[in-house]
Amino acid sequence: MDTLDSQRAQVRARIAALRAELPRAGLAAFIVPSSDPHLSEYLPEHWQGRQWLSGFTGSVGTLIVTADVAGLWVDSRYWVMAEVQLAGTGIALMKIPGAASSAHLDWLATNVATGSTVGVDGDVLGLAAARQLQTTLAAKGIALDTSRDLLDAVWTDRPPLPTAPVYEHVAPFAVVSRADKLAAVRQAMGAAGATHHFISTLDDLAWLFNLRGADVPYNPVFLAHALIAADSARLFIGAGKVPPMIVSRLAADGVTLAPYAEAAAALRALPAASTLLVDPRRVTHGLRAAVPAGVAVVEQINPSTLLKSRKTAAEAEHVRRAMEQDGAALAEFFAWFEQALDDGERITELTIDEQICAARARQPGFVSPSFSTIAGWRANGAMPHYRATEESHAVIRDGSHRDNGLLLIDSGGQYVNGTTDITRVVPVGEVSAAERADFTRVLKGMIALSRTIFPRGVK
């Protein structure tokens, strides 16, 4: 059995194991979203259950397993990838028009019998998504169980939570102090009539506390939750992740640490007279359900989300500097690439990734790539979110042989002073008339779009 056949057999066995758990749990179907307790796009391995079960490696997608059907709902960015990765697994590809589609909800309402129960782990299900799911199922007389994660029963070698240490984001790059940021959030809480504010989103936490981590690939963030009150703040985080010196500095700003697993308990312990501010699109159903019925809840966007979008002049200058550094790294990479083509070096899509990452790593303040590099040669460049692998990648040049074509490079870097995301298309050899015509159409479209005036309020 070759590697691909072995992987497909593994997926079939995992789906069968989950399917066997359904009657034991009293469920007609179980939903596995691409999510974690922080509703992040990029997930630690511990919460990559949808990928582990299905073998599909795209960053979004919803897997549903019933007694006789397994389906993966993905949007058009991933159709080609999903067709390849799901082939032979017994999982059906369910094509949806966009990531916000509710097609999987409609499918459940149509294909699950009235009186049955659908399960999903409420700890990784967004509150807004849970409400939509509950409404759709209830209209068909179908119950929703959010109390358990069936993956625990079948994923015996599930990776533990990440343990990377937290470090401080310091001056000159941390332009605004932690104390000032907390004060700004508390001012917004007061304006909303809230005595407490709960935050789960990792980018908000990293910004608010001037801390960074390495718990999520390509993102300098750490797993945590926070509960902010008028004169105190608790950061719920894994034991030992914060060095003692930083613990002391946090304490000086009124921030104490608590175990990561105690966030829900802290919400359950809120005083009855308190008012909690939460962002319904940035908190899970499980955590929202922990809030006692007697606590008033204000639902609006996290104040930190808006505050961190407003850069000071010094912060904007740091971003410009990061772009300059990244531009220098790209110039270095392209100098290598042109010379390598002339010298007849063997160049593959993987080589592009290696060389561009190495050029960035030589820049001061480099932390990591900001996402997995996309280097797509010719037809591969037309596949959204394509990624070359050791098992499957294209050769751009091999010795004296060189084809003509276009090379797409989509890459970026995390630096202490900013984050970049750069896309370039490089012609190799002769460019055809069709390629020129298509590229000109894209350019015209971009110019027209950039000149369009949208009515206020249009996203």
Which of 35-49, 169-183, 205-219, 392-406 has the least mean pLDDT? Answer: 392-406
CA pair distance 220, 322, nearest whole angstrom? 15
**Cα 86–Cα 16–Cα 147 angle in degrees, nearest 5:** 100
Residue 2: pLDDT band with limits 50, 70, 90 = low
Render pLDDT for 279-338 as a digit per residue (tens, 0 to 9): 999 999 999 999 999 999 999 999 999 999 999 999 999 999 999 999 999 999 999 999
Question: 330 — alpha (psi -120 to 50), left (phi > 0) or beta?
Answer: alpha
Render pLDDT for 277-286 as a digit per residue (tens, 0 to 9): 999 999 999 9
pLDDT at position 97: 86
Domains and CATH numbers, the chain: 3-154 (3.40.350.10), 167-307 (3.40.350.10), 313-451 (3.90.230.10)
Render pLDDT for 360-407 as a digit per residue (tens, 0 to 9): 999 999 999 999 999 999 999 988 878 888 888 999 998 777 789 999
**Cα 47–Cα 118–Cα 287 angle in degrees, nearest 5:** 50
> Does pLDDT of 72 surpass 80?
yes
| pLDDT over 90, % of the chain | 88
Render pLDDT for 256-277 as a digit per residue (tens, 0 to 9): 999 999 999 999 999 999 999 9
pLDDT at position 169: 96
Residues 123 and 283: beta-carbon distance below 8 Å: no
> Does pLDDT of 246 surpass 60?
yes
Render pLDDT for 332-361 as a digit per residue (tens, 0 to 9): 999 999 999 999 899 999 999 999 999 999
> Does pLDDT of 1 surpass 70?
no
Residues 277 and 298: beta-carbon distance below 8 Å: yes
Of 116, 112, 124, which is closest to residue 149 (Cα–Cα)?
124
Render pLDDT for 175-187 as a digit per residue (tens, 0 to 9): 999 999 999 999 9
Residue 101: pLDDT band with limits 50, 70, 90 = confident
Phi, psi angles (nearest 5°) of residue 118: -105, 135
CA pair distance 216, 258, nearest whole angstrom? 21
Q: How does the average pLDDT of the chain come out, rounded? A: 94
Mean pLDDT of all residues in 167-171:
95
